[in-house]
């Protein structure tokens, strides 16, 4: 049986990846690129779309490569141990705004963003795959998965809540603040990833294929549970991606900037922090909730229904700062659903990996978990790209002038505000409805 120390160690891996690097990339990057770094909305959208095409190739290749790794540290752990420092370093560089012109900034952003996706893949795909080799007990898998989600959401809570206060502490321009915080959070993410690599254990030996073959890739598309779960994973990340990517714009343009209530600064990161702490709590409750309703599929379905209803409710809240606590309350309710289904997703990937091993005779755990990481990046980045494109269509224009200064122009304020509001509520509601349909079709009954 795994120790509490190991479970905490495993949680540190997603505290770094999900709670720091990916959380900041999902919430801060769209607004950072358009309003601080100085990219146009078209450049921002294109950057994220190109990165997704890049991930379609790199994620499954990384999964297959990880499955075939043999070292003194195991199969998947060495990727965390040796990938920790590059992860933190590239993340820090990505939040730095160089004093370049329009073309130079574009080249810098594209190069660093693609490099960040590659390093993130090299660390996070093996990290997810660890769940398949640490234990063969289904309840313990749920516990590890729950610890993972609690770690991610707890660190996400700390990251987002502290962000505006750390910005004030650092001072200077917005670009300087992001650069300093990027360096600090990068060091912390590297340390947590390294700790995860050293504190976890690989107890099970993957049944390896003798040589590289494209057969595992072909087998994936014959694996019905994998197809449905991958679509579900993409949808859950679309759901989160729309909300996170547009949160900064919602506070800035719909509520006219940060809202201060009794000394508490509610900016876009703090606004989403209320959801993070809720996800952390209900991520811990998820295994018991699953036992209570009888199966992972039923638990996932109920969680998606909560997300659907609360997202529709948010749309009807008046667009006024005086309703900030009503908005926070709906964010909390939505996060109950997210917190319940998030651990289930990764536990279900472990079920699909077991199903594939039993059916095909060789392990493809890394390859299957890579689809989870790919769906995470695909859903978050495509939703971020769509947010940029749709805001541009509504009348939001950003860019860099001849002096290298960031310029933002809004040609139709009401249209932009309505688009932002719908992107935070109605678009996610449609995605939640699709999740309910897909989970009903998912064939594994555990």
Per-residue model confidence as pLDDT tens digits over 84-123 = 999 999 999 999 999 888 888 889 999 999 899 889 989 9
**Which of residues 79 and 207 earns the better pLDDT score?**
79
Assigned token pair, 46: 């294109």
Confidence band, pLDDT 50/70/90 cuts, at residue 372? low
- Count of other CB atoms within 10 angstroms of residue 325: 12
**At residue 296, does pLDDT exceed 70?**
yes
**Which of residues 390 and 146 earns the better pLDDT score?**
390
Please report the DSSP string for 87-137 in residue order. HHHHHHHHT---S--HHHHHHHHHHHHHHHHHHHHHHHHHHHHTHHHH---
Q: Structure pTM?
A: 0.70
**Which of residues 341 and 269 earns the better pLDDT score?**
341
Minimal CA–CA distance to 43: which of 91, 103, 99, 98? 103
- Report the distance separating Cα 376 and Cα 23, nearest Å: 12
Q: What was the pLDDT predicted at 214? A: 57
Q: What was the pLDDT predicted at 353? A: 74
* Dihedral over Cα of 398, 110, 230, 85: its sign: negative
């Amino acid at each position: 049986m795994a120790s509490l120390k190991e479970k905490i160690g495993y949680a540190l891996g997603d505290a770094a990846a999900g709670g720091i690097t990916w959380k900041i990339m999902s919430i801060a990057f769209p607004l950072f690129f358009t309003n601080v770094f100085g990219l146009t909305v078209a450049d921002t959208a294109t950057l994220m779309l190109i990165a997704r095409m890049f991930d379609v190739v790199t994620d499954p290749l990384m999964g297959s490569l990880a499955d075939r790794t043999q070292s003194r540290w195991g199969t998947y752990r060495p990727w965390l141990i040796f990938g920790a420092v590059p992860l933190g370093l590239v993340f820090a560089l990505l939040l730095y705004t160089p004093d370049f012109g329009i073309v130079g900034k574009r080249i810098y952003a594209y190069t660093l963003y693609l490099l960040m996706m590659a390093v993130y893949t090299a660390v996070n795909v093996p990290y997810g795959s660890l769940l398949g080799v640490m234990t063969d007990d289904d309840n313990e898998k749920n516990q590890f998965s729950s610890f993972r989600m609690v770690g991610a959401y707890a660190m996400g809570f700390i990251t987002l809540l502290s962000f505006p206060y750390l910005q004030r502490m650092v001072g200077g321009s917005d670009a300087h603040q992001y650069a300093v915080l990027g360096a600090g959070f990068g060091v912390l993410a590297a340390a947590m990833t390294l700790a995860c690599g050293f504190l976890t254990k690989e107890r099970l030996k993957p049944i390896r294929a003798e040589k590289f073959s494209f057969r595992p890739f072909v087998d994936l598309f014959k694996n019905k549970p994998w197809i449905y779960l991958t679509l579900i994973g993409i949808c859950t990340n679309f759901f989160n991606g729309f909300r996170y990517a547009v949160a900064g714009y919602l506070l800035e343009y719909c509520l006219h900037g940060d809202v201060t209530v009794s000394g508490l600064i509610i900016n876009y990161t703090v606004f989403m922090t209320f959801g993070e702490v809720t996800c952390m709590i209900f991520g811990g409750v998820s295994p018991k909730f699953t036992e209570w309703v009888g199966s992972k599929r039923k638990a996932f379905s109920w969680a998606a229904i909560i997300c659907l209803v609360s997202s529709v409710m948010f749309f009807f809240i008046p667009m006024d700062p005086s309703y900030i606590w009503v908005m926070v309350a709906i964010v909390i309710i939505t996060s109950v659903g997210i917190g319940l289904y998030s651990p289930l997703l990764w536990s279900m990937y472990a079920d699909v990996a077991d199903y594939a091993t039993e059916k095909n005779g060789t392990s493809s755990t890394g390859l299957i978990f890579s689809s989870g990481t790919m769906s995470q990046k695909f859903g978050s980045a495509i939703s971020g790209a769509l947010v940029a494109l749709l805001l541009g269509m509504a009348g939001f224009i950003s860019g860099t002038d001849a002096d290298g200064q960031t310029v933002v122009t809004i040609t139709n304020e009401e249209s932009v505000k309505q688009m932002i509001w719908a992107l935070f509520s109605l678009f996610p509601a449609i995605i939640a409805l699709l999740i309910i349909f897909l989970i009903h079709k998912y064939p594994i009954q555990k």
